[in-house]
Amino acid sequence: MSTQNPKVSRRTLFAGAGTVGAVAAATSFLPQVKDLAPQALQKAKPERGGGYELSEHVKRYYKTTLV
């Protein structure tokens, strides 16, 4: 059975730090991924009142109030 040495050498420490730095630098040069999800089209607001709309959120609330 082999035992692992918990002591990390200086060379291993600097190699790991260099790898992390290289990965961080490489990811900063990659193009940013834009959100491709379609934006919900907003309905025009009514001119006079009538702003209430029965949405899924409201329906879910009504279901919780049933006895």
Distance CA 26, CA 29 (A): 5
The string of pLDDT tens digits covering residues 5-48 is 677 788 888 899 999 999 888 888 777 766 666 666 666 777 77
3-state class of 54 per DSSP? coil
Distance CA 20, CA 27 (A): 11
Residues with Cβ within 8 Å of 53's Cβ and at least 6 positions away in sequence, in order, are 43
**So what's the pLDDT on residue 48?**
78
3-state class of 39 per DSSP? coil
DSSP-derived letter for residue 46 is: P
Question: What average pLDDT does the segment 43-57 reach?
Answer: 78
Q: Report yes or no on whether pTM surpasses 0.75.
A: no
